[in-house]
Structure 1
Amino acid sequence: MHKSFINRLLFIVFILSNTVTAQVKFSGQVITTEKTPLEHAEVILFSEQSIPLVNRLTNDKGGFSIAYQKGTYKLEIRQFGEILHAQNIELTSDFDAGEIIVDVANVLETVVISKKKEVVERKVDRLVFNLENTISVAGGDALDALRVTPGLQVRNESITMIGKSSIRVLIDGKMIEVGEEELTNLLRSIPADNIKNIEVITTPPAKYEASGSSGLININLKKAKKDSWNLSLGSSYLRRSEKGEGAMTSNFMYNKNKLGLSSSLNYRDGGESFDYQDDVYFPDQLWKTGQQFKRNYKRINAILGLQYSVTPKWAFGFQYIGNFNKTIGDRNTKSDVFENNASTSFNDVKAFTTSYQKPEFNSINWFNEIKLDSVGKKIVLNLDYFKYSNTDIRPYEGTSEIINPYDLQYFKGINNNNQKTNNFSGKIDVDLPTTLINWSVGGKISVSKTKNDISSFNSGLVDDPVTDLPLTTNKFDYNEYIQAAYVSGNKKFENNIEVQFGTRLEATQTKSYDGSLKQTVNNNYTKFFPSINISYSPKENSTYRLGYSKRIGRPNFMELNPNITYVNPFLTVEGNPFLRPYFIDNFELIYSYKKLESKLYYSIENNMYNQIGLPDSTTYLVRLTNRNMFNIKRYGISELYIFDKYNWWTSNNTFVLNYLTSETIDIPAEGVDGFYSTFSTNNDFVLNTAKTLLFNLNFTFMPVGTYGVNRLESSSSTSLSVQYLLLNKDLKITLRANDVFRTDQMRFNSMVNGVYRDSNYYFDSRSVQLALNYKFGNKNVNIGKRETGNADERVRTGN
């Protein structure tokens, strides 16, 4: 960020820090159960609507003093993010609360305030969507939860921030290092009922890896409070248009004395189908290609976490994540070929492809946390290892039939790819709070090695049926080394101003080897990634936020793999070992007033890569490949409004409008400039006084838009849910209907290399689901989760 810009921001911060609007004074002293003062504890004053108004840190004697207007408020005392004390207070005159005794070893078990948590909360650098307070995804999975999260969009198994580009996904602060398809499989195996909340981090602080161009999504799973246990069992059946899915879910949490345990085991067995239609207008021919892809799958997901507190200042433990899938798919493809302006086809190309895939993902994290004192200084060390492997076999065959004069040709082939990825990483984080600034410093080293053993055969068009498949073998290896260091600070001023700032330095070295070309490609680069977030609340219910961050988008390992997959002799899919990372600068200004949040944002995305269809008018071949192909600028606004005036109705509404410009790089196509917008509303209704019968309506509408070289057509989706609670609300019965009118289709068109392409894809989103979930044990659900060190690498393998 430009030096003068930073100076202006700091000037504004210190000017604003001089404003004072207090009328009465509230003071006290925070001490521990051992009668020692608690220094650097957070003392926070909230409005009755749970909006933070004033934040103070206790001094070396545990004392604090808050000057504010008269009224009724909520007071919380926190340390390390844990609530140590909470109470309602009424300020009518100056008041000294005296000694407030807290237990720093445990989170407060009984909080005085028991008001329902807000559906959407806003922090200095992120939006928090509390999933516990919505029924729209009950019985669903983590992917369903992301669909209804404000500011996010899930289409074509791709997760983006609305109006922005790609993101990265974390689970309990651990980056998931797999490719898009395997990330989808993992999210589909995690029950939504196991999720506590979802954090949408649009301008991440320096502590997080720089990957995730438009920000990060952190999925926090439910946790167990001290001295409690909880077992949740669930079952569901989902019916899609042609196939169904059965699921069994379980989640167990235990926390007693020094031991904390969290585990889940989930199984899904089902099938789905996808319809793809592509019309490609070559100069002299029209190719109308339809594909129907059906697949059956079995998915098993297991998570096991253990934490043991050896002493009050030393805890260690581990977390294991395993995801195992087996998929068998059939793809029928038919291309009708027309001469220009002809009403009947003169050539029919038919292909049948079978795919066998068996991806497996295993991740283990070992951590140590050492507290250096009682005021928040600590060291956290994470050592991580994950292994991802996938056996991918795709045989295909078909015919090309010319009508007049009649001619029949055959083709046959196979594409095999065995991928193995190993990652080792070490990560250290040190928190150093002081009376002036809360500092965090740390670093990370990561080593990733991917090997692909490739074997393939493609006959091309021949006159006789193909009986032999002589395979050609190849290999593609990719190694990546990353070293990172960061420093981050957080300062809370007396007049409701909070500043979070920092920078991250990442050095990357990559080396890829393509056996078919016998070529090695090296790419080394070192970059700084600064970030800053400023929050200012001049009065109750009113907050301004300004944020900036620089990010990087790294290609995942499958996008780099040059292995060519043939759908038929005229349509192929392949990776690109020459892909380079792209960089993005994100700016945003947010104003929140009561339940309304307005945002202005601007982003610059340089050297963006994406998949593009490259048509050849001579051979009629369309290559789907990845290319660094455009620079993008986005100018946007968004509105988020939460309506909760009535106890029986809560509504979460989002509107986004942005204008996008695209400048193409080294591709035979022009970028498309234009507007993109979306509107969504998610409504929960309570239908009876006992609050045991609930109803949800979710609607999303996306008008026409643009992205890169594509123009996007309109689409929409409507979903309904009914939930009934029994047996003291421990048993949940949920009936859900998704995409009721089958309107959630992806339609787009582009002009590349002088060839116009019009596409319509449907991803089998219409379904009906019946789900049952029963909870045993203690209802208090809140075990410490750990941020691993290899989160950034795991996402890019697909898990």
Structure 2
Amino acid sequence: MKTFIIILSSILISSSTVFGQNVLKGTVQNTDHNPLPFCAISVSQKDSTEHYITSKITDSLGNFTIEVPAVGKYLVRATAVGYADQVIEITTGASGNFYLSHDAHQLSDVSVTAKKPLIERKPDRLVMNIENNPLATGKSSMEAIGLAPGVLVRDGQIMVNGMTGTRVMVNGKLLKLSGDDLTNYLTSLRSDEIESIQIIAHPPAEYDAEGSGGLINIILKKQTQLGLNGSVYGNYAQGKYPETSQGAQLNFKKGKLGLFASYAYNWEKGFNKLNQTRSFPDDGIYSAQNRGISWDKNQRIHTGATFDISQKQYLAIDYTGSFSNDVEQFKATTLINYPDDPSHNSTSKGYFPSNYRSDYNDIGLNYQITTDTLGSSFTLLSDYTLNHGQSNNEANSSFYDNNNQFVNDTTFKNQTPSKAKIFTADGKFKKIFKNGSSLGFGSKVSITTIHNAAFFSYLDQNNWQANEDQNFIYNYKENIVAGYANYNGHLLGMDIQLGLRGENTSLTGTLSDTAGIQKNPKSYFSLFPSIYLVKQLNKEGTNSLNISYNRRLNRPGFSSLNPHISYIDNYTSGRGNPYLTPEFTNSYELSYTLHNKYIFTAAYTDSKDVINNAIIPEKNDPEKMTQQPINSGATKIWMFTAFVPVQITKWWMTQNTLQLSNQHAIAEAFDLQENIAMLQSSQIFQLGKGYSVSASAYYLNKIIFANAVLHHLFNTDLAIQKKFFNNKLTVKLAGGDIFGTSKVKGKFFYNDFRLNFDQLQQKQKITFGLTYNFNLGKAFKAKAIQSSNAEEKSRLK
């Protein structure tokens, strides 16, 4: 670590002494070699024509001179009315000449749209474009995330490259949500509102160290029209049960003021079929059939304003509200069979209704100022979040003997209200030097208080009686202070990024029940270094070698610390764990890029004190099982990934990911090691006349999930879309799980305990969707509002 800090310091000192004058020069002419005056010149990095770093207008003779950050090669685009754009490569110190030809297809009123590929690879992330992807039709953002290569979504948990603990951001704003609350929010956020999804497997020091499974950043659509503009959408899906989603977005800009608002409503009904078998004490056999129906209603509001104080600074404020009401009704039939003594056989039948309501409210403030002509900037972010949640669970059970004669019944219920308050403030400064290097540093403060309670009662002779012995109150306080430094530059023929982040965490959990008051204070400080090296292997820069290392942690979700109880059936319950500790992960990666298209990656991750939702038998009653988050030892993953896009014809594009890994989960009560193969493939067909067809499929031979091994996961989606009215109206038709293969089978392991299960949910469905975009006015660029609460959002539940 000391060596790392010395190297970082020396690079920072040396970078500040380099100030070269770097310019690009050239002339724009038509094909007759006549100068074209007042043309638009845009400059981008060599590996991207979409993100421009500077621009200028040619003079009356078509000449231009543009200062750029560093010596090197750049892509330069020339644009003139009535002429086709041209892009050429220019090296600093040299001149480039453009010869533009007349655009024979230009009309007086034409809209040209550049279609982005489904998947794009960037140096530190993978970008999946959603806006024009028919496969995302009618999907929630949670479902859309599952379309990304190397990403698996299962039971509300997101895994990236086999790692859990993935955090979610929206427009760079970390969601202070986890568990059911995160699932509800991502369900209410529909794909119609999303432009792209970024998968950041190994985030640099600028980001919170939270999230051993990396970060997922959802980029919402940005309206680009001056005046009033927006869109409306609606989707109807039909599986066994119907689903609907609809919403609207409005944007208004005049002068320095910009206003925006969006509203989304989602309603869905689904089913859940779960079968379980396991061994029982005294050589008994437990088998259960659970049949559930759920109704989920979610609403989301996002509104705010931006004000351009000057060309170099702006102020923004925004509000996000997410409101959900989820109802589930489970009916369970449980058989206990003793082959050697049938007289002890028994049957229980239960009805288990539950209701979960949550209200999430967040107010964010964002101030940014550009401090020089090179783009150096200071950003201040602050958020205040208030989240209310309440779960109501009821259990109604009847028991029968081996002759199916009624024995007795029980009825009880519990309520578990929760209230969380979170304040975050984050200051960042990034200095860009003339040689193209940059130095960033900043700090963050996070203050969290959560109040949880649980109230139990039982039915006695048609009257509800309080069960005081089970009631409890759990209060949680957490303060985090963090700081970071991050350097980007060039050294020894390599592009480098070095970062170091430090976080100090102080927390106290206080449990009050009939046994008294128990406090569990903790305090710890951790350093999180990150290193990224990129070596170009050819002059064109199309082949490169990337090496990275970083250290991250995964803090327990706030709800995981709450020791409340919920009931699945008469023999199965779920509860939190207030004694969880953070999980720490070290990640190493070696990646080779060929022709800026094909990516081959070898990676190794080593995690300790892994947090998993495990199924375990209860100590005092081995007949019963508990699902509970625990620190379950270590996980080691060796992985090889190949990403291969192929343009088969002009109208057929395929993108494929092959992932081979060895996963080893080691804990005191289980030791699981499996060789895993995953194949993901996406096909895009451009059929002309506005029609496009997309197909996506993935196959997993197996996967380790907590203390379970899941077998043979396979899914295929198919979609078609057509655009009308100058691309303003998009009509989409999509089929999810078209072969009906979403049934999941697996086995849980815990010491000598084995639980076999299979589960089927509503995944197979067909969706019809409409999206209409409208606008009035001239072009402008909406501000992308950031926030300071990315980590905390992902932990709320």
The percentage of counterpart residues that share the same residue type is 22
Corresponding position of 2:633: 630
Corresponding position of 1:582: 583
Q: Which amino acid aligns with 1:641?
A: V
Q: Which moved more, 1:407-416 or 1:227-236?
A: 227-236
Q: 1:652 and 1:55 mapped to 2: Cα distance? A: 32
Corresponding position of 1:20: none
Cα offset, 1:635, TM superposition: 0.4
Cα offset, 1:188, TM superposition: 1.6
Q: Which amino acid aligns with 1:676?
A: I
Cα offset, 1:348, TM superposition: 0.9
Query: Contact 1:249–1:265 (CA<8 Å) still a contact in 2?
Result: yes
Cα offset, 1:130, TM superposition: 2.0
Deviations 1:50-85 (A, max 9, x none): 6999999xxx993678666xxxx83269xxxxxxxx
Unmatched 5+ residue regions in structure 2? Answer: 15-21, 28-40, 56-64, 79-84, 99-108
Equivalence map 1:702-717=2 (5 Å): 702-717=700-715
Corresponding position of 2:504: 507
Q: Which moved more, 1:344-353 or 1:546-555?
A: 344-353
Corresponding position of 1:554: 555
Query: Contact 1:429–1:440 (CA<8 Å) still a contact in 2?
Result: yes
Corresponding position of 2:670: 670
Query: Contact 2:226–2:779 (CA<8 Å) still a contact in 1?
Result: no
Q: Which moved more, 1:420-429 or 1:431-440?
A: 431-440
- Structure 1 pair 95–364 and aligned structure 2 pair: CA distance change class (3 A): same
Deviations 1:483-509 (A, max 9, x none): 0011111114696x3211111110001
Query: Contact 1:27–1:65 (CA<8 Å) still a contact in 2?
Result: no
Equivalence map 1:155-554=2 (5 Å): 155-225=154-224, 227=226, 229-241=228-240, 243-283=241-281, 284-340=283-339, 346-404=345-403, 406=405, 408-435=407-434, 437-457=437-457, 467-472=463-468, 473-492=471-490, 497-516=494-513, 517=515, 518-539=517-538, 540=540, 541-554=542-555
Query: Contact 2:397–2:570 (CA<8 Å) still a contact in 1?
Result: no
SS in 2 for 1:182: helix
- In the TM superposition, structure 1's runs of 4+ consecutive aligned residues that sit over 6 Å from their partners are 4-8, 51-56, 90-94, 341-345
Corresponding position of 1:62: 67
Deviations 1:110-155 (A, max 9, x none): 9x99754343322222112222342211232212321211221112
Q: Which amino acid aligns with 2:289?
A: G
1:601 paired residue among 596, 600, 603:
603
Q: Which amino acid aligns with 1:673?
A: Q
Q: Which amino acid aligns with 1:587?
A: Y
Corresponding position of 2:651: 648
Cα offset, 1:404, TM superposition: 4.3
Query: Contact 2:69–2:434 (CA<8 Å) still a contact in 1?
Result: no
Q: Is 2:654 the counterpart of 1:657?
A: no
SS in 1 for 2:632: strand
Q: 2:713 and 2:66 mapped to 1: Cα distance? A: 60
Query: Contact 2:138–2:245 (CA<8 Å) still a contact in 1?
Result: no
Q: Which moved more, 1:355-364 or 1:752-761?
A: 752-761
- Structure 1 pair 349–499 and aligned structure 2 pair: CA distance change class (3 A): same
Corresponding position of 1:741: 739
1:610 paired residue among 612, 617, 627:
612
Q: Which amino acid aligns with 2:527?
A: F
Cα offset, 1:180, TM superposition: 2.0
TM-score, structure 1 normalization: 0.86
- Structure 1 pair 311–53 and aligned structure 2 pair: CA distance change class (3 A): closer
Cα offset, 1:575, TM superposition: 0.4
Cα offset, 1:529, TM superposition: 0.7
- Structure 1 pair 331–257 and aligned structure 2 pair: CA distance change class (3 A): same
Q: Which moved more, 1:213-222 or 1:132-141?
A: 132-141
- Structure 1 pair 175–341 and aligned structure 2 pair: CA distance change class (3 A): farther
Deviations 1:2-26 (A, max 9, x none): 8489979x99xx9xxxxxxxxxx99
Aligned residues: 739
Corresponding position of 1:566: 567
Q: Which amino acid aligns with 1:608?
A: V
Deviations 1:712-769 (A, max 9, x none): 2112111111212222222122111111222123322133242211121223211111
SS in 2 for 1:704: strand
Cα offset, 1:467, TM superposition: 4.3
- Structure 1 pair 345–188 and aligned structure 2 pair: CA distance change class (3 A): farther
Q: Which amino acid aligns with 1:414?
A: K
Q: 2:349 and 2:618 mapped to 1: Cα distance? A: 20
Q: Which amino acid aligns with 2:331?
A: N
Pairwise CA RMSD of aligned residues?
3.5
Query: Contact 1:136–1:684 (CA<8 Å) still a contact in 2?
Result: no
Q: 2:383 and 2:603 mapped to 1: Cα distance? A: 36
Q: 1:393 and 1:484 mapped to 2: Cα distance? A: 37
Corresponding position of 1:74: 75
- Structure 1 pair 26–479 and aligned structure 2 pair: CA distance change class (3 A): closer
Q: 1:67 and 1:586 mapped to 2: Cα distance? A: 31
Q: 1:42 and 1:428 mapped to 2: Cα distance? A: 31
Deviations 1:255-284 (A, max 9, x none): 443122332101112211112222111251
SS in 2 for 1:445: strand
Deviations 1:520-550 (A, max 9, x none): 1011100001111122222232122111111
Q: 2:615 and 2:601 mapped to 1: Cα distance? A: 35
Q: Which moved more, 1:764-773 or 1:573-582?
A: 764-773
SS in 1 for 2:184: helix
Corresponding position of 1:123: 122
Q: 1:677 and 1:761 mapped to 2: Cα distance? A: 22
SS in 2 for 1:188: helix
Deviations 1:281-319 (A, max 9, x none): 125111111212211122111111321011223311111
Equivalence map 1:78-97=2 (5 Å): 88-89=87-88, 95-96=94-95
Cα offset, 1:157, TM superposition: 2.3
- Structure 1 pair 87–521 and aligned structure 2 pair: CA distance change class (3 A): farther
Cα offset, 1:555, TM superposition: 0.8
TM-score, structure 2 normalization: 0.86
Q: 1:439 and 1:7 mapped to 2: Cα distance? A: 14
Unmatched 5+ residue regions in structure 1? Answer: 15-24, 31-40, 78-85, 100-109
- Structure 1 pair 123–344 and aligned structure 2 pair: CA distance change class (3 A): farther
SS in 1 for 2:519: strand
- Structure 1 pair 770–470 and aligned structure 2 pair: CA distance change class (3 A): same
SS in 2 for 1:136: helix
Equivalence map 1:7-156=2 (5 Å): 27-28=24-25, 44=44, 46=46, 62=67, 74-75=75-76, 88-89=87-88, 95-96=94-95, 116-156=115-155
Q: 1:63 and 1:596 mapped to 2: Cα distance? A: 29
- Structure 1 pair 91–511 and aligned structure 2 pair: CA distance change class (3 A): closer
Cα offset, 1:407, TM superposition: 5.4
Q: 2:180 and 2:482 mapped to 1: Cα distance? A: 28
SS in 1 for 2:466: coil
